[in-house]
Structure 1
């Protein structure tokens, strides 16, 4: 999956979801990689954190190669739920990355380990609580407004993180590649002196909109094969 995502981006995947009619499930803004430039793409390995690392160790027992551990820590800002030992164990298990709805710690060690880790930032203290575990602890994870499971694929890069249902992932990636090709060609033509207004027949769009106020720019782009808004 990471190979298929290698020359794409989360904005392209998001646009592809819109075009393909796939629910757009983007995590709340602010999440980022501990090491700039790291990217992730893989099947979700969900886990809910309750204050103890044992739930992570149990999740690793269910991991498939190149899964991405997605941790539901409720978006908490008062504790870091992942540090160097958990990430080392993830790497040893064959997990391709870690995405945390919450915070991490041990930033220099995580950078040295090299496994992609995405979170909302760093915070020195670990958890000092131990909450009651839910039955779904290893079946699904919440991330902002979204509930994800092993039936989902997670994508992440410098623009953020989003989830796509596994059964639609190939379709979404194929659409994203088509959008990328269109946009690259548009960028090439701008560099060659052909403005985007000319490429998109913008004067024609304005004339059509004047005659039909319901004629939108997105409809116009679809008619002429453009991609700038998707």
Structure 2
């Protein structure tokens, strides 16, 4: 269930927005000041924050700045300020969008949904999964999971895997793959067979049956290709 945190000292605003988000099937969390809001962020890990700029203790700008120190959670700012500099400053310090008061609750819901979609798209761009989450590659963490268990790959194994998953079905020659392992793009022909060793070791880690691999397929006389089926949620 999607969780939204509303940080606003006006009870009426909190209640109105709650009614709309509950109708969407979301869980709604509240905070009436900045300190309470920061605590809720740490304790409850909401999926999105609706943040009023004018709070009774610390400003919404400061709350936003503190959240951004260790989190990329999307933030929608509510502001009575209409000056261009104030709005730009809110975006500069880390807000993803803003709505000026008075506002339409339906507009807030639409904007929040758009932020959630954009956030999910960014997540998907940084992570690929194949065969119904059997194999997951997190490019930000440089982490590979098989059946949700983290694998220990060498740097070369990781480079090879991330190279061939970029274009499933594309055949890579040994020379192509060796080129991926060397930053300057140069290599000696005699080293191409080393790719076979890396592939063999990689298969031992990601294949259930190395004699009948699902992910790294040998194309005889040509090289290797990735045979995993990309999960639809990543498209």
TM-score scaled by length of structure 1:
0.31
Greater Cα radius of gyration, structure 1 or 2: 2
The structure that is helix-richer by fraction is: 2
Higher RCO (CA-CA < 8 Å; seq separation 6+): 1
